[in-house]
Chains A and B, each alone.
Chain A
């Protein structure tokens, strides 16, 4: 939003509306992700395919780690530490890219193909939809990074950073549900 032209009170009022809007959007997206989980349990029941557990564990850890660096970024801009803020953003984006490489470069190269019945459809459907959101998060990070580089955020006015951060945490949280549904629950066939 227009940052400098308005008073701090107006900025905060707009920000509280923005925040509610963002959380409503999260609620909406939650229904879509829940729909995918429903498909998983409806079609797979208590079975699951054999997948590469090591890769899954690594990328899950990487994604959780990226939430930490994202949190650092937000804390740092709140303390006007511009340099640390920008670096933390880059680290987050890099971890996101590692996650994507793990999904697309490794997990998707296994023996399950998209056309393999319910296993293929659900596996690629869930990881693909999630990966798409990770990509959107990385794009968001770069927009914020670019604006941050130009000095557009300050300790008390950085709604864009906050929105980016919660969006990232949200995508992370979705994976926390997807990971066990795909890799842990049910007996591997």
Chain B
């Protein structure tokens, strides 16, 4: 059967079979132990885990490793499949980092679309007071699902940019561990399937943060959501380790740390966070899992009689929040650092000027990542945490504004008196800066204890983090899609549709974000299906909802544009943006093995407009000359 030659189909079959095996296994064990045969949650957990393994076996992500375990050697197969059409490689395990990068990015976009559609459903509900279309419980599931699927989508988008760009930018033939790279992508697929399947297991009502005690009491959907996040977390960990090794070991000759393209610095900083902090969201979700199925009271303040007898102290829900935010605050920098890297990467190209303060920008990414580890408790000012922790966390939070300010300063310095050009990627870069500014300015009031006591859990917070994520990820990600589209496909996107996309999403987003901030200040709580008409915020809600639809429409324009142009667009030049970066010095689309010969770095990366400056010395046999 042709269809089974697609890895993803085999993987899904494997996941179904594995899940069934898990369900049967748990039931059999329970029978043998003389317990009532069917208990849904343990069966579901084991089923989900074996199902994930089944997917990975089915898709073929483990095949080479199984052979290694048996002592066999496996050659590294590169290139399109010889026995099936070339497009099938995108649906199967492939070891080329460019293919994996595209797989990541496209899956990420798909998840963002799913999550966005969910948001439109509950935004429609919120446009009027009262409940019209959905019940409160469904509303809860929808916003939780919206949040976590968006986060998964963003993580995949980040993975897409890093996997596609980092090896190209440092002149490596591939990532350091190509098989691990494929594994890291594919493990997301059963993860996403699990998260979405929570819809059919009663949903859950905690939102994406999964706080106990509610998550311990919630329907089984919360379990599917947590296991799914666990799998996505594995992807973050192996992917970031791979990135760090690649950057440390495989840079082109002459590319010292301070001559790397700036995006690579962002990738390094991001990877440091992903590698380490991810473990703690995993641990916190695991603790909730064992509390749910084994009754281990990490977070339960109520003691059993026997526990009192042995003198045990009670569990504590605040512990969960510490562990959770130790990941989830730094995670917001995982979302934005690559995007901010894209802004710094593209601005000099379109301003035809050197990047202002390269070293400061490079180190500010690291500084944000490291200081970001010290601020997590600013999410817990109202949580009943130890009061003496408030002030230190308030000041640590303010400290992050310093390296973030460095970035803004550098962007302004780069634009200043440049020869600006405004193709679609540049528009998105400038839009990103404007949007991120909204997010950045609404942050410090949250980090200040006195103001946060009022702002916490209002729509203000929703406005804040949407602005940071759109400015820090969504806009730069779109910029990157347009910017590298000709390199990836060999064709040009349609500029007019690109501009239409931009001029829909930018005002759409401003209205949405400022609207959220406004209704929040007027008393709208977050995560709630209804509000009091007397608050006078219904008009605001209508604006937010309409803006949401405009944003959704604009993304459809982009997808149409990219899908159409990939096949029918005009053939792209090798270096349409006159970039100095190495990947633009080779043909479009980029050949299977990227660089025919190794290149040497002979100068600074961003000396745009400086006569005679070179960055990359390509072998003369390779394509076009470096730009001005």
Residues of A within 8 A of B (CB): 1-5, 13, 16-17, 20-21, 24-25, 27-32, 35-36, 38-39, 42-45, 47, 49-50, 111-122, 124-125, 143, 146-147, 150, 152, 189
Segment of B130-138, B149-157, B277-285, B362-370 in the binding face:
B277-285
Residues of B within 8 A of A (CB): 68-71, 73-75, 176-177, 180, 237, 241-242, 244-245, 248-250, 275-280, 282-284, 287, 290-291, 294-298, 300, 303-304, 306-308, 310-316, 319, 322-323, 326
B245 to A21, Cβ gap below 8 A?
A: yes
Partner of B310, one of A13, A31, A116: A116
Q: What are 16 A-B pairs with beta-carbon distances under 8 A? A: A3-B73, A20-B249, A21-B242, A24-B245, A30-B276, A32-B280, A39-B319, A39-B323, A42-B319, A115-B296, A117-B303, A118-B316, A120-B307, A120-B312, A143-B69, A189-B310
Closest to B306 in A: A116
**Contact residues in A for B315 (Cβ distance below 8 Å):** 43, 117-118, 121
A4 to B74 CA separation, bound complex (whole angstroms): 11
A47, B311: Cβ atoms under 8 Å? yes
Chain B residues whose CB sits within 8 angstroms of the CB of A150 once the complex forms = 71
Partner of A117, one of B68, B176, B241, B307: B307
Residues of B with C-beta under 8 A to A3: 73
Contact of B310 with A112 in the complex, beta carbons under 8 Å:
yes
Q: Which residue in chain B gives the minimum CB-CB distance to A142?
A: B69
- Please give 12 more A-B residue pairs, beta carbons under 8 A apart, in addition to A111-B310, A117-B307: A20-B248, A24-B244, A27-B275, A27-B276, A35-B323, A115-B297, A116-B310, A118-B315, A120-B312, A124-B294, A125-B296, A125-B298
Set B176, B280, B313: member contacting A118, Cβ < 8 A: B313
- The A/B interface has a contact count, at CB < 8 Å, of 151
Query: Which B residue sits closest to A19, measured CB to CB?
Result: B245
A52 CA / B296 CA spacing, docked (Å)? 21
Chain A residues contacting B279 (CB-CB under 8 Å) are 28-29, 31-32, 35
Q: For A42, list chain B residues within 8 Å (CB).
A: 316, 319, 322
Question: How many Å lie between the Cα of A50 and that of B313 in the bound state?
Answer: 13
Contact of A115 among B249, B295, B319, B323 (CB under 8 A): B295
* Residue picked from A17, A47, A189, most chain B C-beta under 10 Å: A17
CB-based contact B245/A125 at 8 Å: no
Given the known interface contacts A4-B73, A20-B249, A43-B316, the answer about A49 and B277 at a Cβ–Cβ threshold of 8 Å is: no
A43 and B276 contact, Cβ closer than 8 Å, known pairs A20-B248, A35-B283: no
A116–B275 CA distance with the chains assembled, in angstroms: 33
A44-B313, A47-B311 as given contacts; A21 in contact with B283, CB under 8 Å = no
**Known: A119-B312, A150-B71, A189-B310. Contact between A24 and B297, CB under 8 A?**
no
**Inter-chain contacts of B294 with A (CB < 8 A):** 114-115, 124
For A35, the chain B residues whose CB sits under 8 A away are 279-280, 283-284, 323, 326
Chain A proximity of B207: nearest CB distance (Å): 22
List residues of chain B with CB within 8 A of the CB of A31: 276-277, 279-280
| A116 shortest CB reach to chain B, Å | 4
- How far is it, in angstroms, between the C-alpha of A169 and the C-alpha of B237 when the chains are bound? 21
Q: Which residues of A contact B311 (CB under 8 A)?
A: 47, 49, 119, 189
Contacts of A115 in B (CB 8 A): 294-297, 304, 306-307
Identity of the chain A residue whose Cβ is nearest the Cβ of B238 in the assembled complex: A25
Given the complex, which residues of B lie within 8 Å of A13, measured CB to CB? 249
How far is A1 from B279 in the complex, measured between Cα atoms in Å? 27
Distance of A90 Cα from B250 Cα, bound (Å): 37
In the complex, chain B residues whose CB is within 8 Å of the CB of A1: 68
Q: How far is the CA of A50 from the CA of B311 in the complex (A)?
A: 9
CB distance from B481 to the nearest CB of A (A): 29
CB of A124 within 8 A of CB of B319, answer no
For the complex, what is the distance from the CA of A117 to the CA of B307, rounded to whole Å?
6
Residues on A with beta carbons closer than 8 Å to the beta carbon of B70: 146-147
Give the distance in Å from the alpha carbon of A4 to the alpha carbon of B278 in the complex: 37
The CA-CA distance from A5 to B308 in the complex, in Å, is 64
Complex contacts, A38 vs chain B, CB 8 Å? 319, 322-323
A124 partner residues in chain B, CB cutoff 8 A: 294, 296
Contact A120–B296 (Cβ < 8 Å): yes
Residue from B74, B249, B279 with most neighbouring chain A CB atoms (10 Å): B279
Q: How far is the CB of A183 from chain B (nearest CB, A)?
A: 15
Which residue, of B177, B298, B326, has the highest number of chain A Cβ atoms within 10 A?
B298
Name A16's closest neighbour in chain B (CB-CB): B249
* CB-defined contacts of A17 to chain B, threshold 8 Å: 176-177, 245, 249-250
Residues of B within 8 A of A152 (CB): 71
CA distance A27 to B274 in the complex (A): 11
The 5 closest A-B pairs by CB, nearest first: A189-B311, A117-B312, A117-B307, A119-B312, A32-B279
CB distance from A130 to the nearest CB of B (A): 13
Chain A contacts for B68, CB-based, 8 A: 1
